[in-house]
């Protein structure tokens, strides 16, 4: 699996190519925000076990479809700190 992690100070963000790279980005930004998995899960209405699976690279069917769609279009997703 291809995972590209970036230091937020040196580049624009995390490039997401797979469920694993999305999970790494979520974990990075959650830790940066000072949140536990349980705190974040409650805040956004997810179960802590689902958030844990996402952070550990478990690909859901929806995520596989989104990645396939992006690949087919020849685009990539990059996650970066938002100013909102």
pLDDT by residue (tens digit) across 39-59? Answer: 999 999 999 999 999 999 998
Classify residue 9: in a domain, yes or no.
no
> How many folded domains does the chain comprise?
1
Instruction: Report residue 3's pLDDT band, with 50, 70 and 90 as the boundaries.
Output: very low
The more confident residue out of 12 and 11 is: 12
Whether the predicted pLDDT of 9 surpasses 60: no
State the pLDDT at residue 8.
42
Global pTM reads 0.77
Q: Are 59 and 52 in contact (CB under 8 A)?
A: no
Classify residue 57: in a domain, yes or no.
yes
Query: What CATH number is given to the structural domain containing 27?
Result: 1.10.260.40
């Amino acid at each position: 699996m291809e995972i590209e992690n970036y230091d937020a100070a040196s580049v624009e963000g995390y490039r997401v190519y797979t469920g694993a790279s999305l999970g790494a980005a979520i974990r990075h930004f959650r830790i940066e925000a000072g949140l536990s998995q349980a705190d974040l899960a409650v805040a956004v209405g997810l179960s802590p076990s689902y958030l844990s699976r996402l952070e550990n690279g478990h690909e859901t069917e929806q995520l596989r479809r989104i990645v396939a769609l992006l690949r087919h279009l020849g685009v990539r997703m990059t996650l970066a700190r938002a100013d909102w």
